[in-house]
Amino acid sequence: MTVELARTAAALAPDIVRLSGVRFAWPGRSAFVLEVDTFTLSARERVLLIGPSGSGKSTFLSLLCGIVAPQSGRTEILGSDLTGLGAAARDAFRAEHFGIIFQMFNLLPYGSVIDNVLLPLSFAPGRRRRATAGASASQEAQRLLARLGLEPNLVRGRSAANLSVGQQQRVAAARALIGAPEIVVADEPTSALDRDRQQAFLELLFAETSAAGAALIMVSHDQSLAPRFDRVVPLADIATASHQGPSYVGPSDQ
């Protein structure tokens, strides 16, 4: 599918993420406040979110995934209003429907490659069911790793700390994709890579998210990646980050 066709298809697909009138300040921290006017993400859509450092991209992702809850506004994911859920319910929701890739991959260095990939399944029975529909969870993890270019015999028994940067990135992607979550969130996953590796990794990521039928929202500073995405969203267009007085203390996100 070409980028243009994909963009058309995404435009026709229903919204699976809808944020409106969201306002958030970190509890106990005075300065930073993020206000999101409107943001939507369609099923299978690939969105590149760009913005300078400190603009609130990570806070935005934390809101999107339900790690924190806004003080006001509405965060609707897959038809569920996250703002109406308690912290535990949001955690369970995130485990089921989100796969997350961090900037530094954030693998547990002492854990084995397979354990790192299987970790989300411990908190997401639905994803576990999907992952084990055709084979065992471990086999599914090995299949994903193989598809991402990591042969099982290369990683079997190895801890994540012993992998190269490129290998760690693939493991992080496998962890985000296992159990086919509907939304994959990637927080600057290519920033540590050179141009060739960036391209190769994005190819793999796009192929796997497409195969899983997942939407992808990726944060980056790098605007050169824009042509590969269905839509590019500068954070400044959808949200306002401001610094309030030191006395502001937001309510608990619980």
Does residue 78 touch other proteins according to CB under 8 A?
A: no
By three-state DSSP, how is residue 25 classified? strand
Question: Which residues, 12 to 51, sit near other proteins by CB under 8 A?
Answer: 26-29
Among 9, 13, 30, 67, indicate the residue that binds other proteins (CB under 8 A). 67
**In sequence order, which residues have a C-beta less than 8 Å from that of residue 88 and are 6 or more positions away?**
none
Question: Which residues, 105 to 134, sit near other proteins by CB under 8 A?
Answer: 106-111, 115, 118-124
DSSP letters, 185-240, are: EEESTTTTS-HHHHHHHHHHHHHHHHHHT-EEEEEES-GGGGGGSSEEEEHHHHEE
Does residue 217 touch other proteins according to CB under 8 A?
A: no
User: For the chain, how long is the longest CA-to-CA vector?
Assistant: 56
Does residue 248 touch other proteins according to CB under 8 A?
A: no
Does residue 54 touch other proteins according to CB under 8 A?
A: no
Distance CA 144, CA 140 (A): 6
Give the containing element (helix H, strand E) for 168: helix 165-177
Residues touching other proteins: how many (CB under 8 A)?
39
Choices 45-53, 95-103, 143-151, 221-229 (CB under 8 A): range interacting with other proteins: 95-103
Query: What minimum distance in Å lies between the beta carbon of 112 and other proteins?
Result: 8
Does residue 92 touch other proteins according to CB under 8 A?
A: yes
